[in-house]
């Protein structure tokens, strides 16, 4: 792929490793890294549409992007964590989770998809999670995170349909990175089976391999780090 690549959430474990892997690979003329915080990266706030529009305006100066990778997500914060039972449901936390995990990526698509070329292969990929699969939910719990990732999966599917009308070679997908050794997963790593906790740099390479193997008919789907399709 040529042109520019865009990484949203480049200060996080996966986003930072993905940005580094893209730069090392050298397949793009320019790699943009955006983050809510972190030195050396352009600012973006998923809860502020004006911030998203400003970031898109920077990318619009060229070269045109052919890859947009959204590596943002919220599972826990301060004294809030994933709910174990419906008695723990809190409207403010549910709204915050949806804002970061679903609404934010949707607004990113609103402002960044129009920057992609109208011809040729393009990719818009957002990190989602296996627990957002309705068909795969057998354990319950984690209400807000599950619901927000399920919403993201539906948004991805809907975006893919519209984007295909603009460019028949476009690919819009959700990617599950597995359990990666980052701040997001750290409180929950005790239940991970040996060999299934990935370092961020390994996760980034695995996701790049999946992206490289995607074709236009894969648009709107949800894939795991191993390339296997996951039911939404």
User: Which pLDDT tens digit goes with each residue over 147-158?
Assistant: 999 999 999 999
Q: Is the pLDDT of residue 193 over 90?
A: no
How far apart are alpha carbons 23 and 30 in whole angstroms? Answer: 8
pLDDT score for 39: 61
pLDDT score for 178: 87
pLDDT score for 182: 78
pLDDT score for 81: 85
Is 124 in a helix, a strand, or coil?
Answer: strand
Q: Is the pLDDT of residue 186 over 80?
A: no
pLDDT score for 196: 75
Cα–Cα–Cα angle for 100, 101, 104, rounded to 5 degrees: 55
How far apart are alpha carbons 139 and 146 in whole angstroms? Answer: 11
pLDDT score for 40: 66
pLDDT score for 41: 75
pLDDT score for 187: 66
Query: Within a 10 A sphere around the Cβ of 134, how many other Cβ atoms?
Result: 12
Structural domain spans, the chain: 4-224
Q: Is the pLDDT of residue 205 over 90?
A: yes
pLDDT above 90 covers a percentage of the chain that reads 84
pLDDT digits (tens, 9 = 90+) for 26-61: 999 999 999 998 666 799 999 999 999 999 999 999
Higher pLDDT, 182 or 109: 109
Beta strands in the chain (DSSP E): 4-8, 30-35, 42-43, 65-70, 122-127, 170-176, 179-180, 197-198, 222-224
Q: Is the pLDDT of residue 190 over 90?
A: no
Q: Does domain 4-224 have CATH number 3.40.50.720?
A: yes
pLDDT band at 79 (very low <50, low <70, confident <90, very high): confident
CB under 8 Å to 143, separation ≥6 — which residues? 82, 83, 86, 89, 94
């Amino acid at each position: 792929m040529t042109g520019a690549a865009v990484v949203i959430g480049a200060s996080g474990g996966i986003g930072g490793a993905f940005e580094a892997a893209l730069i090392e690979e050298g397949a793009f003329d320019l790699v943009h890294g955006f983050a809510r915080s972190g030195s050396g990266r352009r600012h973006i706030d998923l809860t502020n549409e004006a911030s998203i529009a400003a970031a898109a305006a920077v990318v619009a100066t060229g070269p045109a992007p052919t890859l947009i990778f959204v590596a943002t997500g919220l599972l826990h914060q301060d004294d809030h964590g994933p709910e174990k039972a419906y008695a723990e449901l809190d409207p403010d936390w549910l709204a915050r989770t949806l804002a970061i995990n679903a609404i934010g990526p949707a607004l990113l698509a609103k402002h960044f998809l129009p920057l992609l070329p109208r011809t040729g292969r393009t990719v818009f990929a957002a990190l989602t999670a296996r627990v957002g699969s309705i068909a795969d939910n057998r354990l319950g719990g984690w209400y807000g995170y599950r619901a927000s990732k399920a919403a993201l999966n539906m948004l991805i599917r809907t975006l893919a349909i519209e984007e295909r009308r603009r460019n028949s070679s476009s690919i819009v997908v959700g990617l599950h990175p597995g359990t990666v050794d980052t701040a997001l997963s750290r409180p929950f790593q005790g239940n991970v089976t040996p060999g299934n906790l990935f370092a961020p740099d390994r996760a980034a390479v695995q996701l790049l391999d999946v992206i490289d193997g995607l074709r236009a008919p894969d648009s709107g789907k949800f894939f795991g780090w191993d390339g296997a399709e996951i039911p939404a």
